[in-house]
Amino acid sequence: MNKKLKLIYLILILTLNFSCVEKKSTEKEVNKSELVRTSKADTLKFTSGIRAIFQDSKGNYWFGSHNEGVSYYNGKSFEYFTTNEGLSDNQIRSIQEDKNGKIWFGTARGVSVYDKGKFINYSTNTNEPKYEWNETNGDLWFYAGEKDGINRFDGITMNYLIFPKPKNENPDNSYGVTDLSKDNDGKVWIATYAALFNYDGKTVNIFDDKNLKIKDNELLHIRSVLADSKGRIWIGNNGIGVLLMEGNAIINFSEKNNLIHPTSTRRGDKSEAGTLEHVFVIEEDSEGNIWFGDRDTGAWRYDGKTMTNYPINNNFSSPMIWTIYKDNNNSLLFGLADGNIFRFNGKSFEKQF
């Protein structure tokens, strides 16, 4: 083969190889595009329960499920993220946004932050515990497992802060964090199963069975806390209803309003209709009304004088409410155990997602 033929043959081979490479590259791009399309849907498809709802500064909604990960809604379609996409765990306990617009997820096993299309994970199990809370800073707080403290992120490090625990009389209770609320003075109120704590930036204060005036036949099992706009602290319990702290006074709000059944054991048994004994979530609406989500009896609203009970859905056999969220438009969204989300329109509930 002369030099001219060799050159033509070489050009032909290179052309064929380049064509194959270009075709393969195009096929990958098409497949990737198809994958993105199939990961989106027109409806919310969670069935395991809505544990967290959040609307970010851009107006997008984020929904955290009990065991199916996170769904992102941009107003047109829903996109889903699970451990396959990088989440620490598929059970979502909290969702929040930092000052840089990053979205943070507190999960059952660690913390995940979503930034520029990818997840970065932080462990909450391997940090050295800190007893001096005021040596740390940061506005992001996270569940730390069924342990003895809470995690606080300072921008670089996830700090594990130990509770100054009282003696826990009930071995079935733990100091696992169940809820968190910030009051008008900047105090952080932290609910755990066995006690309530607050932190003012210097000191951690304890509210246990004794100073919450729990009776001997009752079990303190806190599931929710709300510091409202009037400075009141509402504490939701699984068994003894709602406790209300107003100044130095503490009352059992459910008991005062005859919302604990006379035959109740006050230790977690099923609520009878018309009672408020198992309060898993508390929220305040834009008009100052306080809303309670009961495990067994649905939604309740307190307008300062009257308690009103609302059935979320007459066809829903177990109206457990896991979360109540006030969005950027001051609408109240109610996340249910069946994966549905309802909105209160001022008079009744309508399915929103």
Res. 169 pLDDT band, cuts 50 70 90? low
Q: Give per-residue pLDDT as tens, 190-228.
A: 999 999 999 999 999 999 988 899 988 888 999 999 999
Q: What is the percent of the chain where pLDDT is above 90?
A: 70
Give the pLDDT confidence score for residue 88 in this predicted structure. Answer: 95
List pLDDT tens digits, range 270-299: 888 899 999 999 999 999 999 999 999 999
Show me where the domains of the chain are located. Answer: 1-36, 50-61+85-162, 167-353
Query: Which residues, in sequence order, are CB contacts of 130 under 8 Å at separation 6+?
Result: 136, 159, 160, 161, 162
pLDDT, averaged across the chain? 86
pTM of the model: 0.85
Give whole-number Cα distances, 337 to 72, 285, 296, 299, 314, in Å.
19, 21, 11, 13, 15
Going by DSSP bridges, is the β-strand pair 158-162/129-130 parallel, antiparallel, or unpaired? parallel
Lowest mean pLDDT among 43-47, 302-306, 333-337: 43-47
d(CA 232, CA 353): 32
What percent of the chain is modeled with pLDDT above 70?
84
Residue 21: exposure state from Cβ atoms within 10 A (0-12, 13-18, ≥19): exposed
Residue 94 is predicted with a pLDDT of: 97
Residue of 293, 172, 304, 285 whose CA lies nearest to 224: 293
Give the other-Cβ count within 10 Å of 96's Cβ.
19
What is the SS3 assignment for 270? coil
Q: Is pLDDT at 319 greater than 90 in this prediction?
A: no
Whether residue 95 is predicted with pLDDT greater than 90 in this model: the reply is yes
pLDDT of residue 22: 30
Q: What is the CATH number of domain 167-353?
A: 2.120.10.30
Is the pLDDT confidence value at 335 over 80?
yes
pLDDT in tens, 3-34: 444 443 443 343 434 333 333 322 222 222 22
- DSSP, residue by residue, 225-289: EEE-TTS-EEEEEBSS-EEEEETTEEEEHHHHTT-S-TT--SSSPPPPTT---BEEEEEE-TTS-
CB neighbours of 159 closer than 8 A, spacing ≥ 6? 127, 130, 136, 138, 151, 152, 153
pLDDT classification of 128: cutoffs 50, 70, 90: confident
Instruction: Give me the count of residues in the chain.
Output: 353
The confidence score (pLDDT) of residue 217 equals: 83
Please tell me the predicted confidence (pLDDT) of residue 123: 87
Residue 106 in contact with residue 123, Cβ under 8 Å? no
Least confident among 56-70, 191-205, 305-319: 305-319
